[in-house]
Structure 1
Amino acid sequence: MTQGKLYGEGRRIKWAPDHKKRILGIFLGWGYPLGESDGFRRSRVEAWRCEKCKKILLDG
């Protein structure tokens, strides 16, 4: 596995189940935040990529 980071653009990365709806179809007003973010840098979460199966595992 290769260690790295998954970056978000501007907002904190959140996980949400598929059956939950978004506000106005766009915004995720709730969810489970992953990783860390400060007001000036991108949000980021530790991640590992499996070279064999191509899946990415996140450390929330």
Structure 2
Amino acid sequence: MEKCPYCSKDMLDGTLLGDRKALKWKPRDKTLLPGLWACGGLTVGSHVPTARAEARAWFCSYCRKVIIDVDNC
């Protein structure tokens, strides 16, 4: 069980899902471009064309934060 880095309470283990595209994280200062959804962004999780994009994630129900370890998706 992971501990929340914000409040130290137990976090719930789960999966962050996408649909037809890979999950992406986009920096706040970058804009969305047609055809280049998150230029300058970071692909998160695994994506196979025939499957749903997903990444392991932990959720803190107390402070409502989701934590993703991008190196271990």
Normalising by the smaller structure, the TM-score range is: 0.7 to 0.9
1:13 corresponds, among 11, 23, 26, to 23
Unaligned regions of 5+ residues in structure 1, if any? Answer: none
Percent identical pairs in the alignment equals: 29
TM-score, normalized by length of structure 1? 0.84
TM-fit CA distance, 1:16 = 1.3
Unaligned regions of 5+ residues in structure 2, if any? Answer: 1-10
Query: Going by fraction, where is helix more abundant, 1 or 2?
Result: 2
TM-score, normalized by length of structure 2? 0.71
Matched, 1:34 2:48: no
TM-fit CA distance, 1:30 = 4.2
For the pair shown, the structure with the greater C-alpha radius of gyration is: 2
Q: Which amino acid aligns with 2:42?
A: Y
**Runs in 1 of length 4+ with deviation above 3 angstroms?**
none
